[in-house]
């Protein structure tokens, strides 16, 4: 393989990585955030969207957004989760609110409240 071909492969891989990066994803309109979150949860929990329930969109003091919800996984029970969005509407991350151990965190504002599973 020549250096020219290696450069082409590197550029192709770099551009594929760049364009699949969530950092340049289009912002999600606030009205669409719960639906977007349902899609993320459906993918993360490998279940159909009909088994995902989301609560209303909430806004943090810093202007960012979050959506909480539950995934009904049948025999595994209902699993709480949260999707976080920047104040510009960019999807930041999905997080399960269940630690598969004995305890899980319920996020309320900026404080963590711990509850027994």
The pLDDT tens digits of the residues spanning 71-85 come to 999 999 999 999 999
CA pair distance 51, 55, nearest whole angstrom: 13
Predicted local confidence at residue 58, as pLDDT: 98
pTM > 0.75: no
| 30 pLDDT higher than 80 | yes
| 100 pLDDT higher than 90 | no
pLDDT, the chain, mean: 78
Find out whether 80 and 96 touch, Cβ atoms under 8 Å. yes
Q: What is the pLDDT of residues 6-27, one digit of tens each?
A: 444 445 445 444 444 455 668 9
């Amino acid at each position: 393989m020549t250096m020219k071909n290696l450069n082409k492969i590197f550029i192709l891989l770099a551009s594929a990585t760049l364009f699949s990066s969530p950092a340049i994803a289009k912002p999600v309109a606030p009205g669409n955030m719960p639906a977007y979150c349902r899609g993320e949860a459906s993918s993360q929990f490998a279940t159909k969207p009909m088994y995902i329930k989301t609560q209303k969109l909430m806004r943090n003091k810093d202007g960012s957004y979050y959506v909480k919800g539950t995934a009904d996984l049948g025999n595994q029970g209902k699993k709480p989760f949260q999707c976080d969005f920047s104040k510009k509407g960019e999807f930041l991350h999905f997080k399960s609110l269940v630690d598969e151990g004995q305890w899980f965190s319920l996020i309320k504002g900026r404080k963590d409240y711990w509850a027994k599973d």
